Structure 1
Amino acid sequence: MGKTFRQSMAWLHAWSGLVVGWVLFAVFVTGTASYYRAEISLWMRPELRSGATLGPDAMATAAERAVAHLQAHAAGARAWFITLPRAENPVVEVFWRTGPGRPPEHAELDPETGAPASVRATRGGDFLYRFHFELNMPPLWGRWIVGLCAMIMLVALVSGIVTHRRIFVDFFTFRRHKSLQRGWLDAHNVTGVLALPFHLMITYTGIVTLALMYMPWGVTTAYKGDAPRFFAEAGQITAPRQPAGQPGTLAPVGPMVRQAMATIPGPLERLSILNPKDANASVVAVFEEPHGLSHEHPQVAFDGTTGAVAEIRAGGLQPGAKTFTTMVGLHEAHFAGPVLRILFFLCGLAGCAMVATGLLLWSVARLPKPGARPGFGLRLVQGLNVATVAGLPAAVAAYFLANRLLPVGLPDRAAWEVGGFFAIWLLVGLIALLRPQRRAWTEMLTAAAILYAAVCGADGLRILREGLAGGRPADPLFLTFDGAMLALAGLLLLAARKAARYDGAPRPKAARTVGIPEPDRGRAALLEAGE
């Protein structure tokens, strides 16, 4: 590990970053994209258009129609969830679960008629958002893996800070013409130091967000496993009502919606209807969080059979819960306005670059001597680097492109979109392992650029067809999104051009530090940066 404390920290930084770097890159990319989750979802459903916020009467009518649909199609479910229309998502979404352990059922309804909405099936930005912390795995497994990787990420950040004595000098240093290894090291330093407060904040708050899942023992011991009572006493939810075991009739929800909107001065987000056929049915109106750091949702609970107000939760969180919700709010940045959200997005891109350059630096620092062939371990790392750094952006582009190319009425259409995402990612990974390293980088980055340009082209053709048919004018959101796709295509083409210029020549001597053995040259370069 090294003879000195800083050498040990350099070893820890290099190896901890490599072990989880590929997962962390995927987490950073999809998490950064999730800052525009609503816009991505709207772009992936071009049949919709963002509209005005509905008033109490229209919201009440939409809720009544959603309940009618659930009574007809989900009468046996123990809970109904209704997401009411809002400006960025002008449809009613209903969810229900038919039994324990089964995936939730889902439908989208026209708020004006209650009929199924004429909109293509897609997971939209929600796929990228959930991939960010679940990796498209069963939730428990995915969240544990991401949590462990985040813990190691925190270790890598702290050890990186200890390694760099010249951390502020590194902020202004970038020597791309000095040597290949020096250029990657400086790029890693700049992207790491530039947004270091963001990296520390986003990693720590990401761990805290699921802390009760990772460390449930306090709540389990104090509340005998009754987690809902803990959340209710902390002020995060209304007190749950146990089912009476006797049949009951659900009161009209329209008056409840009107009363809730008159009670809480904020946008109504969703309704939760628990035990709708029971005498102890409850209806909870959940509002969007008010402006501010704390991620707390005001709520109004009703007796489901009488329509009477049972409880109002609007602020007043306990200190521990307030701290927790503030951490969640910092991580998700729902409080951020347009300018601050761009800043969060740019910091997220810096995080992606930091992880990517760290992975590349590890492999570049361990290139064999001239004439020698890389070993299996190094070749595997090089292939995984291409598969991750070039493959994941290509997979995201394929996901967007599938949304435009697949037939609107295709059965399981949303699953086909996700399948396209993983198919392209797997294809890039296989090519990266089979092709020579330099060619793999150039070819895969170029392919990713072509995919992003194709996304813009496919949507441009759709806009042109609608215009020729006398349809609605192009939404500025769609034009902005297409422009972002072109910009990404240009950046990837630039990266492919840079990769093509690299002739594969061995790196020059990079380490002035003496006493460090040959296999640890990557660590030596990190130490040199801190001298």
Structure 2
Amino acid sequence: MSKTLKQTAPRKKNWLSPEFVRAMLAGHSALGLAFAALIYIVCLSGTIAVFVMEFQRWEQPEAPLVWEAPSAGVLQRAATSAFDSAKQEAEHPDLSIAWDGSRTPHFTVRVRDHDSGLEREWLADGSGALVEEIDAPWSEFLAHLHINLHIPQSYGLFIVGLTGVALLSSLISGVLSHPRIFRDAFAFRFGGSLRLQDADLHNRLGVWGLPFHIAVSLTGALLGLSVLIIGVLAMAAYEGDSEKAFAEILGPRAGENMEAAPLPDLTALMQRVRDDHPEAAFRSVHVEHAGTAGQMTHLSMGVPGHLSVATPYYFDGSGTLIGDGGLETGSIGQQILGALQSVHFGWFAGMPVKIAYGLLGLALTIVTHTGVTIWLHRKREKGNPAPFWERVWSAVAWSQPLALAIAALVALSGATGFILASYLAATVASLGIGILSEDGRTGGRLLRLLGGLTLLAVAVMHMAKFGVGGGADPMGAIVDAFLLGSGLVLSLSGVRPLARRRVLAAGNNAPARRAMGDR
């Protein structure tokens, strides 16, 4: 009797040793758990903040829209109007004007004065007239939540920067702790073990969006730790002179000569830049100590084909070009600096890239969420469940849609001074609901239902305030439709599992009811 010998292909040896993989996995888990809540909030707020300019339009849908690039004469008229208004309250105000049609049709004019505390911002029309002051408190709240978590600027930026470092480290250690992560890029196990299902979702979204995840975490870390980086640069290259280091990066500051002088001639300055770069388009201008002999003008002009929004060109009080920031054609370091913000927020190629960033940012948020749920599932499978932390994490995850929606309701109601307080109160209340709930799933479902209903209420309040069409700006109707759709999905995701649970409970009690009927 002959036996057929089966030849099996030798298993490929992993390129990383088991000991190294275990160490990376332990580090990945520890780092992710330590920063989980911060990473989750920063990722979710950043995903929404990609569209912060659209939300600004939604909050002011009756504001003027400027679709064509303002001429130098229009810019000059807006500058003069803002300067004349500021001079009534401040002696030496700073003046800023911005328009970038690739990002938003809002034409903004700002004046600030550190000595008097003056700070005013207007939206101008196509003629340069200042039509109305900027009033988008929820968008501003959202931006600060992502940038510095509403903690004092220097500390908040540092914490967010460290969060970016932790996220980047988690991504790298996650790849190194899963040698088969790329080979299993399309493997997904539906049903069965919740841990395996969440692990597949975690790994697949992590791999598919890995270039994006690394880009946003790296740029976020660099932006958040910029003050620390400049401090190190000052010590290393400028013998501790931080002012010189800041000047090298941020450009020269205004001089001490406060004698009255005309505002910069923007027509002449823009023409001077276009003599060397004919295709350069206006993006913004900032005049420090405007209307003085020592004023310093930073005129930002953008050239197509660069990730940087624009390069600033520096003009002194006499209108002489004294240099530029080199963000488009300077050194590699300067070009990286110029591209950081655009790459981080996806503000470099119009709405299609913004939508892609929104979807990829949502994927990164899910990766963060499932990273914790995998750990919790693993503890339960090992017979050492952590029901308290299951309830807490579910509350952390689903508190944010509810809290952000409540903050939007408060902003629409006009109580702008209570936006942050309402957000914090909603977050704390959500944690209480989660902790007191029967389990993590029950608390999460209730918070999803509340969050969905609140999003629906936000859309309804906006339509009641500006009309069913959302106002003159079509973005109002678009955002309202998005809020209605998101609210409906969240509400149904909370209602359907609860309804299914009641049906199952009724089915389980049917034999007892029949027995009672027989009696």
Shared topology, TM-score over 0.5?
yes
The aligned counterpart of 2:513 is: none
Identity %: 22
| Equivalent of 2:263 in 232, 252, 269 | 252
User: Which whole-Å CA distance do the structure 2 matches of 1:443 and 1:28 have between them?
Assistant: 23
Pairing of 1:68-217 with structure 2 (within 5 A)? 68-75=84-91, 77=92, 80-84=94-98, 88=104, 90=106, 92-99=108-115, 105-108=119-122, 110=124, 117-118=131-132, 121-215=135-229, 216-217=231-232
User: Does residue 448 of structure 2 align to residue 450 of structure 1?
Assistant: no
Distance in 1 between residues matched to 2:329 and 2:242, nearest whole Å: 19
The runs of 5 or more residues in structure 2 that have no matched partner are 1-16, 503-519
Alignment match, 1:496: 494
The alignment status of 1:365 with 2:365, answered yes or no, reads: no
Q: Distance in 1 between matches of 2:421 and 2:474?
A: 29
> How far apart in 1 are the matches of 2:350 and 2:456?
29
Superposition TM-score, scaled by structure 1 size: 0.79
Tell whether 2:54 aligns with 1:39. yes
Does the C-alpha gap of structure 1 residues 136 and 117 become closer, same or farther in structure 2, counting only changes over 3 Å?
farther
- The alignment partner of 1:173 has SS state of coil
Change (3 A) 1:462 1:47: same
Q: Give the AA of the match of 2:38.
A: V
In structure 2, C-alpha distance between the alignment counterparts of 1:73 and 1:110, rounded to whole Å:
20
Any conservation in 2 of the 1:229–1:240 contact (CA below 8 Å)?
no
Partner amino acid, structure 2, of 1:458: M
**Which among 432, 435, 443 is matched to residue 433 of structure 1?**
435
AA of the residue aligned to 2:404 = V
- Alpha-carbon offset, residue 81 of structure 1: 3.2
1:401 aligned to which of 400, 406, 409: 409
1:319-468 equivalence runs, <5 A: 319-367=332-380, 379=388, 381-404=389-412, 406-407=413-414, 413-437=415-439, 438-464=441-467
SS where residue 300 of structure 2 aligns?
Answer: strand
CA distance change for structure 1 residues 84 and 211 in 2, over 3 Å: closer, same or farther?
A: closer
Q: Supply the AA of the counterpart residue of 2:421.
A: G
Residues 156 and 312 of structure 1: CA distance in aligned 2, closer, same or farther (over 3 Å): closer
Q: Write out per-residue CA displacement over residues 415-454 of structure 1, whole angstroms, 9 at most, x where no aligned residue.
A: 3333333332222122222222232111101111111122
The amino acid that maps onto 1:396 is L
CA RMSD of aligned residues (A): 3.3
Per-residue deviation at 1:161? 0.9
- Counterpart for residue 285 of structure 1: 299
| AA in 2 matched with 1:22 | A
Name the counterpart of 1:63: 79
Provide the residue aligned with 1:14 in structure 2. Answer: 29
Aligned partners of 1:39 and 1:477 also within 8 Å: yes
* AA aligned opposite 2:355: I
Please state if 1:486 is matched with 2:501.
no
Deviation of the 1:458 alpha carbon: 2.2
Q: CA deviation at 1:84?
A: 3.9
Q: d(CA) in 2 for partners of 1:222 and 1:131?
A: 33
User: In 1, Cα distance between the equivalents of 2:341 and 2:121?
Assistant: 28
User: In the aligned structure 2, how far is the partner of 1:237 from the partner of 1:68?
Assistant: 27
Q: Deviations over 1:96-120 (max 9, x none)?
A: 2434xx9773333656899975457
Superposition deviation, residue 131 in structure 1: 1.9
CA drift of 1:331 comes to: 1.9
User: d(CA) in 2 for partners of 1:152 and 1:96?
Assistant: 36
2: CA distance, partners of 1:383 / 1:257 = 59
SS state at 2:394 partner: helix
Partners in 2 of 1:4 and 1:309 — Cα distance?
60
- The C-alpha deviation readout for 1:446-496, integer Å capped at 9, x for no partner, is 11111112222223334546x7xxxx9753322221222123223323542
Q: 1:50 aligns with which of 53, 62, 65?
A: 65
Q: Report SS of the residue matched to 1:82.
A: strand
Q: How far did residue 209 of structure 1 move? A: 3.0
What code does the residue aligned with 2:473 have?
D
How much has 1:351 moved relative to structure 2? 0.3
* Structure with greater Cα Rg: 2
Aligned residue for 2:184, secondary structure, equals helix
Seen in structure 2, the aligned counterparts of structure 1 residues 190 and 92 have a Cα distance that, compared at 3 Å, is closer
After superposition, the Cα gap between the structure-2 partners of 1:192 and 1:25, relative to the gap in structure 1 and judged at 3 Å, is same
Structure 1 residues 444 and 68, CA gap change in structure 2 (3 angstroms): same
Contact 1:195–1:347 under 8 Å retained in 2: yes
Shift of 1:248: 0.4
SS in 2 for 1:30: helix
Matched residue SS, 1:177: coil
Matched with 1:526 is: none
What secondary structure is seen at the aligned counterpart in 2 of 1:43?
helix
> Could you list the per-position Cα deviations for residues 36-88 of structure 1 after superposition, in whole angstroms to 9, with x for gaps in the alignment?
1211111111231433232222211011001111211222x5x5132345653
Contact 1:70 1:80 in 2 (8 A): no
- Quick one: higher RCO (CA 8 Å, sep 6+), 1 or 2? 1
Amino acid at match of 1:11: A
Residues in 1 aligned to 2:426 and 2:410: alpha-carbon distance in whole angstroms: 11
Residue 502 of structure 1: how far off its partner (Å):
7.7
More displaced 10-residue stretch of structure 1: 13-22 or 211-220 = 211-220
Cα shift at 1:348 = 0.8
